[in-house]
DNA sequence: CTATGGCTTCAGTGTTGACCGAAGCTGGAG
DNA sequence: CTCCAGCTTCGGTCAACACTGAAGCCATAG
């Protein structure tokens, strides 16, 4: 007896959310992202998400706010007594990745200022220099690579 | 009245630890890393770290264990009634960065398996495809870039 | 064998943050 | 103006985790 596609998609959404939970995104926020990436039709109201993901309306609201704020989800309001529709803005996913890369590169600021504090004592700076060299390389290469990305419109 | 170098280094260590605390490394672990990067001489016992960083012996022990396990710190035991010496292994810092990059690239596995679940329904897969394309690109470019790193000995 | 320095383990404490669900707010309909 | 659906806000609960300090556990010296 085989498992239906929707069931397998639910399991996929759960794995998807679990991955991002490890990176600090709340579990429910990750579920919303995964669900909005694959649901048909592509728009959902907060109430629908709440029912579909079995999460409280409060949690859905809080997480949607977070995701909209991060730019990953778009809120579309409509006239009349109608619920707002939420959909994923998959083009903004690159921003998420870029923030990750930026965070990595930003360590360079720390190592650099540390090196400045150690100027005049090269012996003592040896260990920090090794780390600084690594981040200096990242700080030049990663942004350059990012610009070469197929659909890069800006940095 | 100017501030001494050691005082400024303490402040630097604190900023250093704060940065990594945001990435999930315990505050005291980050302090140990920062301190071991700049202390002179380069080796310290657990007791010295405890005093210098004003942290309990238990916290120092737990965090040292974590850092040694991660490969960032090396423990050197000595004969006689002598405390073990801990020092930073700055060459292993690249491993830390690589783990970060690998974590980013690993999302590709998720998007790929998601795409497989959606095969036969290209319309519905549009949103996920955009995300998958991004990670597919990262999955080829990042490892390639890493290999071009100046002192890369392996992937 | 016994004492002791020194790291490790562990139970306890405080804090943080996700989540829930009810109360509150808002904007359009009647 | 009043009602109402539906989103948002907020107090309370719970679990996870960093940190402490004391007890435990070696290994070595005497």
pLDDT digits over A79-127, tens only? 766 789 999 999 999 999 999 999 999 999 999 999 999 998 999 999 9
Determine whether the interchain pair B145/A150 forms a contact, defined as Cβ–Cβ distance below 8 Å.
no
Tell the residue number behind the tokens 């009245």, with chain if given. Answer: B1
Q: Which nucleotides of D are covered by protein (CB under 7 A)?
A: 4-11, 17-23, 27-29
Long-range contacts of A41-49 (CB under 8 A, 24+ apart): A42/A87, A42/A88, A42/B127, A43/A76, A43/A85, A43/A86, A43/A87, A44/A85, A44/A86, A44/A87, A45/A83, A45/A84, A45/A85, A45/A86, A46/A83, A46/A84, A46/A86, A47/A83, A49/A86
What residues form DSSP beta bridges with B88?
Answer: B73
Q: For residue B81, what pLDDT band results from cuts at 50, 70 and 90?
A: low
The pLDDT of residue A81 is 63
Q: For residue B77, what pLDDT band results from cuts at 50, 70 and 90?
A: confident
Other CB atoms closer than 10 Å to residue B47's CB: what's the count?
12
Residues of chain A contacting residue B133, judged by C-beta atoms under 8 Å apart: 150
- Chain centroid, CA B137 distance in Å: 24
Q: Using CA atoms, how far apart are residues B67 and B64, in angstroms rounded to an integer? A: 5
Q: For residue A4, what pLDDT band results from cuts at 50, 70 and 90?
A: confident
Q: Using CA atoms, how far apart are residues A131 and B75, in angstroms rounded to an integer? A: 19
Q: Using a 7 Å CB cut-off, which residues contact strand D?
A: A 45-47, 57-58, 60-62, 64-65, 75, 81, 83-84; B 24, 26-29, 54-59, 62-63, 79-81
Residues contacting residue A18 through CB under 8 Å, at least 6 positions apart: A27, A30
Q: Are A113 and A136 in contact (CB under 8 A)?
A: no
Phi, psi of A46 (to 5 degrees): -60, -40
Determine whether the interchain pair A103/B23 forms a contact, defined as Cβ–Cβ distance below 8 Å.
yes
Determine whether the interchain pair A97/B138 forms a contact, defined as Cβ–Cβ distance below 8 Å.
yes
Please name the nucleotide lying closest to A46, CA to C1': D7
Answer yes or no: is pLDDT of B98 > 90.
yes
Query: Could you identify the residue whose CA is nearest to the C1' atom of nucleotide D18?
Result: B26
Please name the nucleotide lying closest to B53, CA to C1': D19
CA of B101 to C1' of D10 (A): 39
Residues contacting residue B97 through CB under 8 Å, at least 6 positions apart: A104, A134, A138
Write the residue in B38, B107, B125 that is nearest to A114 by C-beta.
B38
Answer yes or no: is pLDDT of B65 > 80.
yes
Reduce the DSSP state of residue A72 to 3 states and report it: coil
Write the residue in A37, A100, A127 that is nearest to B37 by C-beta.
A127
Residue of A nearest to B134 (CA): A94
Answer yes or no: is pLDDT of B155 > 90.
no
Element (H, E) at A135: helix A122-147
Q: List Cα–Cα distances, A65 to A52, A93, A132, B85, in angstroms.
A: 18, 16, 38, 49
Closest CA to B77 of B90, B59, B64: B64
The pLDDT of residue A2 is 72
């Amino acid at each position: 007896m085989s498992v239906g596609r929707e069931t397998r998609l639910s399991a996929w959404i759960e794995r998807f959310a679990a991955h991002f939970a490890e990176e600090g995104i709340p579990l429910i926020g990750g579920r919303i992202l995964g669900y909005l990436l694959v649901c048909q039709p592509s728009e959902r109201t907060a109430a629908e998400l709440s029912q579909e993901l079995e999460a409280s309306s409060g949690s859905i609201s809080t997480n949607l706010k977070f995701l909209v704020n991060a730019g990953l989800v778009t809120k579309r309001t409509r006239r009349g007594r109608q619920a707002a529709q939420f959909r994923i803005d998959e083009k903004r996913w690159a921003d998420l990745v870029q923030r990750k890369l930026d965070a990595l590169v930003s360590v360079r600021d720390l190592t650099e200022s540390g090196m400045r504090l150690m100027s005049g004592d090269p012996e003592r700076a040896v260990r920090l220099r090794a780390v600084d060299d690594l981040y200096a390389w990242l700080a030049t290469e990663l942004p350059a690579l990012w610009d070469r990305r197929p659909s890069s419109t800006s940095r």
